[in-house]
Amino acid sequence: MVNKSEAAREVTFENVEGLTEEGLPFLIYFRDPAKKDDEKVFVDAVIRELYDQRMSINPLLANGLKFVHPLKHLGKTTKLHHQQK
């Protein structure tokens, strides 16, 4: 059985360099931390669809509210951020 906390780890500004050093491409879900059900859907999909590829991809969870500024530089916005303007 797969440990859900190992299926997708949390990425932060503090640990991103170490994750990058692993050399695997990232699959990042930028989530609203208040919506735990959405996080569960992502983790369940990773387990179901990507389990056999776990050595070639790095599924990560990120607090979308903390990453608003860097994502904005990439031309990305969140519905929440967009509505607050």
- Spatial CA neighbour of 78 closest among 46, 34, 31: 31
CATH number of the domain where residue 22 is located = 3.40.30.10
Question: In this predicted structure, what is the pLDDT of residue 85?
Answer: 46
Span 34-43, average pLDDT: 93
How confident is residue 79, by pLDDT bands cut at 50, 70 and 90? low
In the prediction, which pLDDT does 75 show? 85
Domain interval for residue 51: 4-84
The CB-side HSE value for 62 (13 A sphere, CA atoms) comes to 23
Tell me the C-alpha distance between 52 and 75, whole Å: 32
Give tens-digit pLDDT for 20-35: 999 999 999 999 989 9
pLDDT band at 54 (very low <50, low <70, confident <90, very high): confident
**What's the rounded mean pLDDT across residues 7-27?**
96
Q: Domain total for the chain?
A: 1
